Structure 1
Amino acid sequence: MGTRRLFKNLDFTLIGVTGVIIMFGLVIIGSASTDYGWWMRLGLDIDKLQEANILQRLLWMKKEYVFKQAVWALLGAGVAAAVVYIPYEDWRKYTRHLYVINLLMLGAVLVLGHTAMGAQRWINIGPFVFQPSEFAKLIIIITLADFLAKREGRLRNFKELLPTFIFVGVPLIFILMQPDLGTSLVFIAILFGMLFTASSKPWLVSGLFGAGVAGAVGLVWAHLKFGTWIPLHDYQLKRLTIFLDPWSDIQGAGYHVIQSQIAIGSSGLWGKGLMRGTQSFLEFLPIRHTDFIFSVLAEETGFLGATLMLVLFGIFLYRGVRIAIESKDTFGTLLAVGVVSMFTFHILVNVGMTIAIMPITGLPLPLFSYGGSSMITNMAAIGVLLNIYLRRQKIIF
């Protein structure tokens, strides 16, 4: 395919929305990574901050976080371009290899992984640190799409669905051992999103999902009530349930949620302005450039800024759904559904946990939160969507 024809048939709406989200994210990351320590080193005090607007902008432009995120976005764009160039149908030849590589990569984390914040999720390669579980999301989408496409029309009962649960369950166990509960839940969202599309009886998949949720809630309730065993550490269980009543542990597990609610609740219509959010600037809000970046966005840009971001994500997801519908084959449809399921779950959980309607799982806001592995994986996933859209009709070639 000629480069000119390839370029002509890309989904420019999806590309444009992605670019706007990333640029918006760079601005908020720059603001979120500005803290009182900067001003202390400059000999400034709070009373003089209003007079330091120009200096603020200069310092922000030099932020290490912003620079790194921009580099990762550019690298991700290169990865996305490479993903677009290779016809997605050809990937089916290598899905077994990808599945094995995925298991080896996740297994290596347990042996060679770097531990931080109580979890062993990262691998150091020289000066670089990457999180294999991020890349595992996209690999499981590709391999599961092929697995389900080969079984089209043969997913009518639990017995026929069981191999699919085993297929996803094996890498899921490796991720739970790290432990990485957030990514494990993403795997489950991807699994059921793709199964709902692939099965000839979606009501069965819906029933299994409902039964699974009810069973999980029952296990948690039984553990809290009677002390029965549950496959979660105490801190994980606390993080999952604290959103129900964050004020029950103000200085502990509920602190993040409470500070996030204060930040969002005090923002008003227009917000407090970039680098003027008190919860962020004075460091009341923890991990504000990653997990709780939506709180910073809402506090500093207000209801209008937060709504704009959600609208952009809405357009992004709509394009993903359209690509899934317009795909020329089942494999392409399942790939697109898997990508949309991954992004949807991330967005709902990340935004939901900042306003205390979702558990705290440590999931970043796609394309927006700071993080190299997440950015490159998300950009590669967008490359998958563009690839499917580009080859949606055979007549194009």
Structure 2
Amino acid sequence: MALAQPRSPQSAWKKLRQVFAAWREFDGILLMTVLVLTGIGIVAIHSTVRERPISHYWLQQLIMAGIGLVPLLALARIPYERFLRWHWVTYALTLAGLTAVLFFGSAGGGAERWLSIAGIQIQPSEFAKLGVILTLAAILHHWPIKYFSQIWVAVAVITPPWVLIFLQPNLGTALVFVVILLAMLYWAGAKGSWIILLMSPGVGAILYGLHTRPELSWMLWVWLLWCLGMASMAAWRLPWRWTGAVTFGVINLLSGHLGQVAWHFLKPYQRRRLEIFIDPAQEPWGSGYHLIQSRIAIGAGGLWGQGIQQGTQTQLDFIPEQHTDFIFSAIGEEMGFFGTLTVLILLWIVCVRLIFIAQGAKDNFGSLIAIGVLAMILFQSVVNIGMTIGLAPITGLPLPFLSYGRSALLTNFLAIGLVESVVMHRQRTTFFT
């Protein structure tokens, strides 16, 4: 029997070159930025729960990052176009997971949001974000927005999962769905004025609700001007003119009263969060205490921070949920202005890379996937950081890649894997196209 010939250095080098060629388009900057953010988050989580029964959280986050890296790289190698033919299956699985939470979910934080599978807690609402992005990207790929009436197809698709999320109740994630929808509609061709008209009832309800507070009674005039402005915009930007003006004028007038009805559908803790956002000082030892302590922690960090595991607010548990919702407060206190600025720059790099990828995608489907992921990450980052410094109400949204949360971290890694697939399977372009 003939002996096997040893592999020549030329053939080994050729195979190595083929491997490098296969990953040539991979966006290493995006992946490295995500990994650095995740590393900062693990360090902060370890610091916030040091020497306590829940000190294993940082290790779980580290393990999940390692696990999530595998499907991220696998998705990057799979042509993303394959998901185009399976988008209704993805949509059905999304609805099935959200429906299962309502019947079999376990309580956590006042809401039914978790499924226990083989002893592991899974949050279907996190994976639903990715399912909605894929479904909307497929629909808007087939039917780009050319007329205002086409918007309602996308709205009809997102309504069932949105309702299921709202019923859990999970108001923060429900808002993420809305932002994803608006961003993807705009990228698919919807005019900015159409997006404003679509948002107008919600804004009108908020303005009307604010005027009920004695110190904000003047907001009633702002609400009336808003209703008039939306009627004028509809007459100017919609083809139906007077019909559109009357329709959106009436909708915004009714939205004020409908907002009062919706207010009573919120859970007591959700209403209290919104009230505390307006005036945290009204309960300095109650619900407003958390927000006040968060501000103190960030301010106490100074330029360079008090040091890892040295922050007084963090180490003495003055801040609640500091390894999840308020991880940015812990970073601000222990890593200082330098640490928070580093986090902001890294998040900015992720968002910029996603915009470049959306611009350079070879088709609408890939471009819309990148924009959907951008909307998800950017909105959650703005709201989470905003709530720690008092610029946004407390919603429970995690800070992407930094807050503890296995389902959230895995979802974000899967999202980056899909975007990397868009990069690797596009036509070769220049950096800024």
Deviations 1:188-213 (A, max 9, x none): 1100010111124233113322x144
Q: Which amino acid aligns with 1:9?
A: E
Match of 1:23 among 20, 35, 39: 39
Tell whether the 8 Å contact from 1:222 to 1:228 is kept in structure 2 after alignment.
Answer: no
Is residue 8 from structure 1 mapped to residue 24 from structure 2 by the alignment?
A: yes
What SS does the corresponding residue of 2:261 show, helix, strand or coil? coil
Tell whether the 8 Å contact from 1:223 to 1:229 is kept in structure 2 after alignment.
Answer: no
Tell whether the 8 Å contact from 2:293 to 2:318 is kept in structure 1 after alignment.
Answer: yes
Q: Counterpart of 2:64?
A: 72
Between 1:294-303 and 1:145-154, the stretch displaced more is 145-154
Match of 2:178 among 181, 188, 194: 188
CA distance in 1: counterparts of 2:19 and 2:106, whole angstroms = 41
Query: Displacement, 1:394?
Result: 6.4
Match of 1:83 among 70, 75, 82: 75
Deviations 1:135-156 (A, max 9, x none): 00001000110111111143x2
Deviations 1:261-309 (A, max 9, x none): 1101111111111111111100111100000000000000111111011
Query: Displacement, 1:219?
Result: 5.5
Tell whether the 8 Å contact from 2:145 to 2:185 is kept in structure 1 after alignment.
Answer: no
Is residue 233 from structure 1 mapped to residue 222 from structure 2 by the alignment?
A: no
Between 1:233-242 and 1:329-338, the stretch displaced more is 233-242
What SS does the corresponding residue of 1:120 show, helix, strand or coil? strand
CA distance in 2: counterparts of 1:375 and 1:369, whole angstroms = 8
CA distance in 2: counterparts of 1:136 and 1:224, whole angstroms = 36
Q: Counterpart of 1:264?
A: 298
What SS does the corresponding residue of 1:67 show, helix, strand or coil? helix
CA distance in 2: counterparts of 1:220 and 1:395, whole angstroms = 49
Q: Counterpart of 2:101?
A: 109
Q: Describe the shift of the 1:223–1:169 C-alpha distance in structure 2 as closer, same or farther (beyond 3 A).
A: farther
Q: Counterpart of 2:209?
A: 220
Gaps of 5+ in 2: 1-17, 215-256
Q: Describe the shift of the 1:88–1:163 C-alpha distance in structure 2 as closer, same or farther (beyond 3 A).
A: same
CA distance in 2: counterparts of 1:173 and 1:229, whole angstroms = 16
Q: Counterpart of 2:226?
A: none
CA distance in 1: counterparts of 2:396 and 2:141, whole angstroms = 32
Query: Displacement, 1:19?
Result: 1.3
Tell whether the 8 Å contact from 1:260 to 1:292 is kept in structure 2 after alignment.
Answer: yes
CA distance in 1: counterparts of 2:261 and 2:283, whole angstroms = 23
Deviations 1:146-205 (A, max 9, x none): 111111143x21x22112111111100000110001100100110001011112423311
Q: Which amino acid aligns with 2:385?
A: V
What SS does the corresponding residue of 1:129 show, helix, strand or coil? strand
Match of 2:415 among 363, 381, 397: 381
Q: Which amino acid aligns with 2:86?
A: Y
CA distance in 2: counterparts of 1:203 and 1:373, whole angstroms = 36
Identity in percent: 39
CA distance in 1: counterparts of 2:175 and 2:350, whole angstroms = 22
Q: Counterpart of 2:50?
A: 34
* TM-score of the two chains, using structure 1 as the length reference: 0.88
Match of 1:273 among 307, 321, 331: 307
Is residue 255 from structure 1 mapped to residue 245 from structure 2 by the alignment?
A: no
Match of 2:424 among 361, 386, 390: 390
C-alpha RMSD of the superposition: 2.1
CA distance in 1: counterparts of 2:207 and 2:145, whole angstroms = 33
CA distance in 2: counterparts of 1:135 and 1:224, whole angstroms = 38
Match of 1:349 among 383, 386, 392: 383
CA distance in 2: counterparts of 1:318 and 1:111, whole angstroms = 40
TM alignment of 1:134-153, pairs within 5 A: 134-153=126-145
Q: How many residues align?
A: 369
Q: Counterpart of 2:246?
A: none
Q: Describe the shift of the 1:267–1:118 C-alpha distance in structure 2 as closer, same or farther (beyond 3 A).
A: same
Q: Which amino acid aligns with 2:261?
A: W
Q: Which amino acid aligns with 1:26?
A: I
TM alignment of 1:133-172, pairs within 5 A: 133-154=125-146, 156-157=147-148, 159-172=149-162
Q: Describe the shift of the 1:166–1:65 C-alpha distance in structure 2 as closer, same or farther (beyond 3 A).
A: same
